[in-house]
Chain A
Amino acid sequence: MTKTPTSVFRQRFSRRRFLGTTLAGMGAALTTGLPKVGLADAKTVRLGMNIPMTGDYAPWGLPGLYGCEIVAANINAAGGVKIGNDTYMIEMASYDHGYDTEKSVQGFKKLVLEDDVKMVMMLGGSTVASIIPWAMRKKMLTTTLLPSDITPDTEYLVATCESHPLYNVTGVEWLADKFPEAKTAAIITTNDIEYGKQSAATYNAAFEVAGIDVVDVNFHGFDVADFAPIVSSLLSKKPDVFCMATDVYTTPIIEQLFHQGFKGKIVSCTCDGYLDVIAKTSKEFVEGLTFQFPDFDDPALTPDKADFPDPAGFDAAFNKDHAGEWSAVAWEYPSILLNWIEAAQAAGSIEPEPVLSAMKANSSPAHTFGPGKWWGADLWGLDNAVVGNWPVVAINDGKARIQEYRSVYDWLQNNAGVLKKHMQALDLRTV
């Protein structure tokens, strides 16, 4: 980040800088024996999370709430944040919609009208689609983890952190560079639109750009008890690369690859449960398994690469209270929270409209892995998703380690047309 030309905006509103100064200020206040003026005067700003906390989708909601609570507690303990002329404590308000569209509508309205939140963070998919008409009319700043929720009419919907599944291109690009002998790939994915097909289209495009032939794509439902038949079917095409485009079933699928004697490279979108995978297969087998989501105690998450305050400390705090519940959303929602703080500070206001304007006015907005760019008009009709660098992670000696950061933005600049072609081939909505 320090090597890239930084805008005035970034210099003024770097996350670590603001946290650093607040902490330093706190320290100074304490050492000089002054009362905690900041705390006494602090107002509270509420931010909403309308997410699944129970049911099948809970792993993509609940850990995010835990993560936000850790980050908010740290910020508040350090005296809150200064926005405009006021100091604010951050409070999270959450509603569990259980991935149900009716509940999502009710939860969204409750958060906005009754809890008076200034932003609503959501997971994405049909639960976002059902709140869009109302949220846009109320001009409510809403975030999603799925940029494919963006349409030309969703001016107030932004995807500032995860850009599922665009980041997948970095893993394929890296693999093709490292292992030029890989010539063919097989893809397995769930048959839903939001997660599975979007991801499969992205992988198709990434493989095409990398010069790797996709020999078979298998779309399966959420009711698979045994992956042996599907894996047998895909392996009969003798792929060099086996690619898992969605994350729900990585463990049983890799277990089948192990038992059925797969010798090639494995690429996955996520692999949060890689320790389980190792326990079920062997350390040797998963060596080199490539995916997109780092552990947050990764030494490569250095301040110049990752714009997240104390990743290792965050990782430790999370695993202390919520061991075994970590998933990528644990840091993604907090990252959006941090994006909001920066934009609010730039706007000098906590109100949704000025905050959104400040976000969009920034030509190189903050992103977890270095500054990004607003993008999306090419595919969805509106530049409301932030894309930037994304890490490529691989298992080294039983531990997930970042191998390299690569630019999703650059890939999209060169190859958006290929991606669009593959999305249309799977009947996915594009402009």
Chain B
Amino acid sequence: MELFLQSVVNSFIQGGFFSLWAVGLVLVFGVMGVVNFAHGELVMVGAYSIWVLHAQYGLPYIPALCMAVLLVTTIGVLMERFLFRPKREDPLGGLINSLGVLFILQVAAHVVGGTGPAKQVAPPFSGTFVIEEFLRVPYQRLFAVAVSVAALGLLWFFLTRTRLGWSLRAMAQDREAAALQGININRTSMIAIGVSGALAGLAGALMAPMTSIHPHMGHNVIITAFIVTIVGGIGSLSGAVLAAVLYAFLHTFVTAYISGTVATMSGLLIMVLVLIVKPTGIMGKRVSE
């Protein structure tokens, strides 16, 4: 019973992270048509920022978190302006450019952090929320879940209640039609990747005190984000969030009751299954090709 409850809580925490990872990827793909393979590295940069600013230079956690978000947003915007925009008609070129960025960011992390063992950041919120014999959740994780939910709520508000958000969604649905209606593609793309970068930076900064920080940590992020994106339906933000939570439950429970390797394998196989049976994903509306 304790394991079951604990796993439910663990699933929700993972679900929050999976959502942050995937929503950014979905947004960029939906609006710009680019598969950003460097998305995981953006999360990694967010985590490294916390290690440098908070753990090394002693900046308090919250300002360090804000700066991490700002930094990663800037990297995202620069990528859009100089790498994705010139390759708008060539999705393969954009994809390859993002691979280039992936390598560069990994090396940058190496240069900043050295080749030593993975970096650790002491949690700014210590202590654990305890219901004896039932449940134990570290405050750091509660904070992370709360911030993730708030960020996703804010994004939902932005997309559904503002003009800019509306133009973003229009672009994601049909780029050409949106352009014909006078939506500024450059500006919309820049906002999309800015939001994507902010979410990635936020995810990295929130994860930093709970995980091992190393240059290759983005690998896991991108694989999970792909699984979630495909299962949720490419271009569907609500689908991504739903799939993220479902996948987190699957992964957590299979890991807890069977094995972690089986959990990853079953995630991949479910993704293939979805691709075969319903390539548009559980919530996707866009037709493929």
Q: What is the count of residue pairs linking A and B with beta-carbon distances less than 8 angstroms?
A: 110
The contact of A232 among B7, B122, B259, by CB within 8 Å, is: B7
In the complex, how many angstroms separate the beta carbon of B275 from the nearest chain A beta carbon?
21
Shortest Cβ gap from B265 to chain A (Å): 10
| A299 CB–B CB distance under 8 Å | no
Partner of A226, one of B14, B117, B120, B209: B14
- With a cutoff of 8 Å between Cβ atoms, the chain B residues found around residue A59 in the complex are 115-117
* B13 proximal to A (CB < 8 A): yes
Judging by beta carbons under 8 Å apart, are B261 and A220 in contact? yes
Main SS of the interface on chain B? helix
Among residues of A, the one whose C-beta sits closest to the C-beta of B3 is: A236
Q: Is the CB of A251 within 8 A of B2?
A: no
Which chain A residues lie closer than 8 Å to B264 at the CB level? 221, 223
- A272 at the B interface (CB under 8 A): yes
B252 touches A276 (CB 8 A): no
B66 at the interface (CB under 8 A from A): no
Residues on A with beta carbons closer than 8 Å to the beta carbon of B130: 261
B102 to chain A, nearest CB (A): 15
Interface residues on A, range: 35 or more
> Are B122 and A233 in contact (CB-based, < 8 A)?
no
Determine whether the beta carbon of B10 is less than 8 Å from that of A229. yes
Q: Is the CB of A219 within 8 A of B261?
A: yes
User: With a CB–CB cut-off of 8 A, which chain B residues contact A252?
Assistant: 210-212
CA distance A218 to B259 in the complex (A): 7
Give the CA-CA distance A177 to B114 in the complex, in Å. 41
B175 within 8 A of A: no
Whether A228 and B257, one on each chain, are in contact in the complex, defined by CB atoms closer than 8 angstroms, is no
Which residue of the partner chain, among B6, B116, B123, B220, contacts A280 with CB atoms under 8 Å? B123
B11: min CB distance to chain A, Å = 8
- Residues of A contacting B210 in the complex (Cβ-Cβ under 8 angstroms): 226, 252, 255
Known: A233-B3, A325-B116. A224 touches B260 (CB 8 A): yes
A-B contact pairs, 25 of them (CB 8 A): A56-B214, A219-B259, A219-B261, A221-B260, A223-B219, A224-B260, A225-B207, A225-B221, A225-B224, A229-B251, A230-B255, A232-B6, A232-B7, A233-B257, A251-B118, A252-B212, A255-B210, A259-B128, A259-B136, A259-B138, A260-B6, A273-B120, A276-B122, A280-B123, A326-B116
Residues of A within 8 A of B (CB): 53-54, 56, 58-59, 62-63, 191, 218-221, 223-226, 228-230, 232-233, 236, 248-249, 251-252, 255, 258-261, 272-273, 276-277, 279-280, 324-327
The 10 A-B residue pairs whose C-beta atoms are closest, nearest first, are: A276-B120, A236-B3, A325-B116, A279-B122, A233-B256, A220-B260, A229-B255, A259-B138, A232-B6, A229-B256
